[in-house]
Chains A and B, each alone.
Chain A
Amino acid sequence: MTILNVTGLTKRFGATDVLRGIDLDVQRGERIAILGASGSGKSTLLRCLNFMERPGGGTIALDGQVLGREGKAGERVYREAELIQVRQRVGMVFQQFNLFPHMTAIGNVMEGLRTVRGMPKPEAEARARKELARVGLAEKAETYPAHLSGGQKQRVAIARALAMDPEMLLFDEPTSALDPELVGEVLNVILALAKEGRTMLLVTHELGFAYHVATRVIFLADGAIHEQGTPDEVLKNPKKERTRAFLASHKQFSF
C-alpha cells in the first residue's frame, strides 16, 4: 500500500537546481536508505517531504491525498494548517538533534503532545516516559540536553518524534554529528524501529547499516535518482559508474 507518492519534485535555491524532478513511491513498511555525495540533494529531498522546505515544483501525495492546491501560475499552494497536519504524520530526526535546551528530556518528548495535541499533562507525561523507555533513556527523563551525550540526545530526539505517532519517519543523517563510539546506540534504536515494521526514509553515510536495515537503496546524484534497487543490487552490484565511484570512495579504508 502506497503511503507516499512523489512526482516530479523540484527545488531550487537561488540559481542552483537542488532537486531536478524526483519520482518516488514509498510503500507502508518500506525502509529506504538514501545515499549520495554531499550536495546531491538528499537532505533537501527529505526536508521537502515534510515541508520543512517548500517544494519548488511537482506534487507530494500522502495516503493518496495530493497536498496543496494548484495556484494561478500552475504552481502548488500550501496552507500552513495542512502542512502542520502533514508534519505530525511524518516525523523527522535531524543531524544536529535540535532538542529544546530549556526543557528536560521528558519535557522535550512531551512538548508536541501538550502544545500541539493539547493532551493533559499526566497523560502526556506517561506517554513520554514510555517513549523514553523505548529508546533506553527512562532514567534520564529529568536531565537537560546539555548534560546528555550526543547519542543520548539523538535518542531523545527520536523519542520526541515517536511521541507524535508518525506514520512515517525521516532520518536526516542521524549519526553524522556523533562521536564514532556513540553511533552504535543510535543505530540500535533505529534498527529496533525497523523491526517493528515502521516506514522510514534514512539519509545516511553508514553503508553497512543501510545494507542491513534498508529494503531499498536510492543513490542520488545531481538532484535526481541515479540508481535504485535492493541493498544487494545497489550496494553490491551497482550498475552505474557514479554509484560505483561513490561506493568505492566510501569503502576505501574498510577492511
Chain B
Amino acid sequence: MAYEWDFSPVLANAPLLAEGLANTLKITGTALVCGVVLGLALALLRLSPRRFLSWPAGFVIEVFRTTPPLVQLFWFFFALPILVGIEMTPFVAGAVTFSIQSASFFAEVFRAGIQSIERGQWDGARAIGMRHDQAMRRIILPQAVKRMIPAFMERAIELMKTTTLIATISYADLLFAANEVSQKTFRPLETYTVVALIYFVVIFLASQIARLVELRLARSGESTVH
C-alpha cells in the first residue's frame, strides 16, 4: 500500500512552524553569543599558568563536556530552583544550559587554536615589549581564529541541533511546534519531513556562509606559507 503524501495540512500551519523556527534561532543565537564569550574566557583561564585560575576553568569544561545535555537542562530547570529558590523560564534555563555547555566545547576549540600558534610568535611579540595580554590580542588570537573556524562551525551546528532538547521543557521551539502540528493534523510524516528540511536548509546555509568567511580570511594576505 502506497502512502499518500499530503503536505497541505502542514503548510496550513506554517505560521506555527515559523514561530517555532524564530524561537529556535533565538535560543541558538543567545547560546552562541554567550557561549563564544564565555568559551573564550574559559579558554584563557585554562591556559593561565596560575593554577587557581586554570583548575576551576578545566573543571567546568570537563563537567559540561562529559554529562549529557539533556541531564544538564533538567538539572538547571528542575533541580537548581530547589537549591536556590529561583524559578527559571524554559528559555532562561535553556539559554543558561546551552551557553555553558557550548562554552565548554568552544573553550577547547579556542585553546587548541591558541596552542597551535608557534612559540616564535610569542617571542616576536615579547621582544618588542608586549605584555602577555597585548600579545594574545594582537598577535596570537588573530592568527588562531583562522585555524579555529572549521572546528568552531562544527560545534555551532552541533549547538543548533542540541537546542531541540528544549522542547522537552515546553519551550516553543521548532521541534515543539512540530509536535503540535503533527498532533493537530495527524500528519507526522509530512510534519517531521518539513521540519527536517527546515533544519537542513538553515544549517546548510550557515555552514556555506562560514566557508565563505573562511576562504576570505585565508586570502587576506597571510597564508600558512613560511
Residues of A with Cβ closer than 8 Å to B? 50, 52, 80, 84-85, 87-88, 91-92, 94, 96-102, 104, 111-112, 115-116, 144-146, 157, 160-161, 163-164
How many angstroms between the C-alpha atoms of A97 and B124 in the bound complex? 8
The verdict on B223 contacting chain A, using a C-beta distance below 8 Å, is yes
Residues of chain B in range 177-226 having any CB-CB distance to chain A below 8 Å: 221-226
The verdict on B123 contacting chain A, using a C-beta distance below 8 Å, is yes
Partner-contacting stretch, out of B56-64, B130-138, B159-167: B130-138
- Asked if B129 contacts A85 (CB within 8 A), the reply is yes
What residues of chain A lie closer than 8 Å to B101, measured between beta carbons? none
15 contacts between A and B (CB under 8 A): A84-B131, A87-B128, A88-B128, A94-B123, A96-B120, A97-B124, A98-B121, A98-B124, A101-B143, A101-B226, A115-B130, A116-B134, A145-B222, A146-B223, A146-B225
What residues of chain A lie closer than 8 Å to B128, measured between beta carbons? 87-88, 91, 111-112, 116, 160-161, 163-164
The verdict on B127 contacting chain A, using a C-beta distance below 8 Å, is yes
What residues of chain B lie closer than 8 Å to A101, measured between beta carbons? 143, 222-224, 226
- Asked if B129 contacts A144 (CB within 8 A), the reply is no
- Asked if B124 contacts A100 (CB within 8 A), the reply is yes
What residues of chain A lie closer than 8 Å to B142, measured between beta carbons? 102
Q: Given A100-B121, A100-B124, A102-B142, verify A87-B222 contact (CB < 8 Å).
A: no
- Asked if B124 contacts A99 (CB within 8 A), the reply is yes
Q: Given A101-B143, A102-B221, verify A161-B134 contact (CB < 8 Å).
A: no
The verdict on B26 contacting chain A, using a C-beta distance below 8 Å, is no
- Asked if A80 contacts B127 (CB within 8 A), the reply is no
The verdict on B139 contacting chain A, using a C-beta distance below 8 Å, is yes
The verdict on B51 contacting chain A, using a C-beta distance below 8 Å, is no
How many angstroms between the C-alpha atoms of A96 and B122 in the bound complex? 12
What residues of chain A lie closer than 8 Å to B143, measured between beta carbons? 100-102
B184 to chain A: closest CB distance in Å? 54
What residues of chain B lie closer than 8 Å to A97, measured between beta carbons? 120, 124
- Asked if B127 contacts A91 (CB within 8 A), the reply is yes
How many angstroms between the C-alpha atoms of A2 and B125 in the bound complex? 28
On chain B, the number of residues with a Cβ less than 8 Å from chain A's Cβ atoms is 23
Among B124, B125, B127, B132, the most chain A Cβ lie within 10 Å of the Cβ of B127
How many angstroms between the C-alpha atoms of A233 and B127 in the bound complex? 33
What residues of chain B lie closer than 8 Å to A96, measured between beta carbons? 120
Residues of B with Cβ closer than 8 Å to A? 120-121, 123-132, 134, 138-139, 142-143, 221-226
What residues of chain A lie closer than 8 Å to B222, measured between beta carbons? 101-102, 144-146
- Asked if B130 contacts A161 (CB within 8 A), the reply is no
What residues of chain B lie closer than 8 Å to A99, measured between beta carbons? 124
How many angstroms between the C-alpha atoms of A88 and B130 in the bound complex? 9
- Asked if B226 contacts A161 (CB within 8 A), the reply is no
What residues of chain A lie closer than 8 Å to B221, measured between beta carbons? 102, 104, 144, 146
- Asked if B124 contacts A115 (CB within 8 A), the reply is no
Q: Given A111-B138, A112-B129, A146-B221, 10 more contacts at CB 8 Å?
A: A80-B131, A87-B128, A97-B120, A100-B121, A102-B143, A115-B138, A146-B223, A146-B226, A163-B128, A164-B129
- Asked if A100 contacts B139 (CB within 8 A), the reply is yes
What residues of chain A lie closer than 8 Å to B123, measured between beta carbons? 52, 92, 94, 98
A150 to chain B: closest CB distance in Å? 9
A129 to chain B: closest CB distance in Å? 17
Partner of B130 from A52, A112, A145, A163 at Cβ < 8 Å:
A112
* Minimal Cβ-Cβ distance residue in B for A88: B129
A142 to chain B: closest CB distance in Å? 9
What residues of chain B lie closer than 8 Å to A98, measured between beta carbons? 120-121, 123-124, 127
A13 to chain B: closest CB distance in Å? 14
How many angstroms between the C-alpha atoms of A84 and B130 in the bound complex? 7
What residues of chain A lie closer than 8 Å to B126, measured between beta carbons? 52, 87
How many angstroms between the C-alpha atoms of A104 and B220 in the bound complex? 11
